[in-house]
Structure 1
Amino acid sequence: MPPPPVFCIHTAFSVISRVYVHEPIQIPYPIQIPYPIQIPYPRLYASFQNKIDYHFNNVALLKQAFTAAGAPESRSETNGPTKSNKNLALVGDAVLRLCVLDEWFPTGSNTEVGDNLVADVGTNEHLKNVAKEWGLKEYIKKNPSQQDQEAKTTLASTVEGIIGAIWVDSDRNFGAVQHVLKKLLY
């Protein structure tokens, strides 16, 4: 047996009398929605996860990786942790350097070669190009001040945020991160 109908107070502004009118309305159960609701991000997240061949246990981490600093979604209601990708990007940057050096070390090359590899792969310019190549721009929740701009640091931080999110989501599984990096970077 369905639950009883819900009554709500509908508030409207009357143009004729120029006052707010409060009237009770009945909401039938179940609620009938006459049009399809578009929920783009879950589908986008699913398509992205298929592209990188890694499926998140905690999709909230992926959502956070795609949330730029200053985006409305990143603001905390309390003084709690930020919901932007800054923390994940910091972790992702370190993991990216570790992965690059892990590939370099067995070659026996001198440290200058290792330093140059890290510098080349980890630059904002290179990571921005990776983000463009993978079409990450469509997933990013931007800061309103940069809606029509393509900020190099936002794109680079998103790539680093994704790497950090995979690291955390996979319970620090180095192999999982390397698998995705080989798809993203090479």
Structure 2
Amino acid sequence: MVTTHSSENDQAVMDILGYTFVDVSLLRRALEAWSPAYPDGHKSHALVGDAAIALAFHFDGYSKSSTRESSTNILNNRASNNALATLGRSNGLDKHVIINPAQWGIVSNKTMATTVEALIGAVFIDSGLDINAVRAVMVNLGIMDRPE
């Protein structure tokens, strides 16, 4: 957990994601959990990220001629809040989230999952809505398997 933005923190997160941001402000916003200093936090990015994650999984299912039920089950298992929080922590992203000091340095599971969604949303926006960039980051984080 960090309390302020820095270029070192930005680079560390880009290394984890395997994606270099053109507009680093998108990355920085995605790392900001709600606090009095950041009243909107990263929730708007997370909404976009949630939709981009669903699009990536459903498009993958479409490409493989999977049933809607199968695609939805995979999405629900691989992109649940618990799964995203676990993957965020295992990739070390929790060390880079900017949280409210009142949280005593603890990144909750909900905040971690929302941060992962926000980062995916930031990638989607920064890449010009390139779902392949999103899929690559999802593979790097372990949310999605490498294409066969």
Identity %: 28
| 1:127 aligned residue (81, 84, 89) | 84
| Amino acid across the alignment from 2:18 | D
- CA separation in 2, counterparts of 1:46 and 1:71? 26
Q: Displacement, 1:40? A: 6.8
The aligned counterpart of 1:115 is: 72
Equivalent position amino acid for 2:68 in 1? T
For residue 21 of structure 1, what is the aligned residue in structure 2? none
**Can you give the 5+ residue segments of structure 1 that lack an aligned partner in the other structure?**
1-38, 76-81
Q: Which runs of 5+ in 2 are unaligned?
A: none
Higher strand share: 1
Alignment of 1:54 with 2:11, yes or no, is no
Moved over 4 A (4+): none
TM-score (norm 1): 0.70
Matched length? 140
Task: For 1:89, give the aligned amino acid.
Answer: A
Max radius of gyration: which structure?
1
Deviations 1:45-76 (A, max 9, x none): 1122123221111111111100001252x14x
Task: Name the structure 2 match of 1:36.
Answer: none
In the alignment, is residue 147 of structure 1 matched against residue 104 of structure 2? Answer: yes
Deviation of the 1:41 alpha carbon: 2.3
Residues 1:43 and 2:8 aligned together: yes
> What is the TM-score of this pair, normalised by structure 2?
0.86
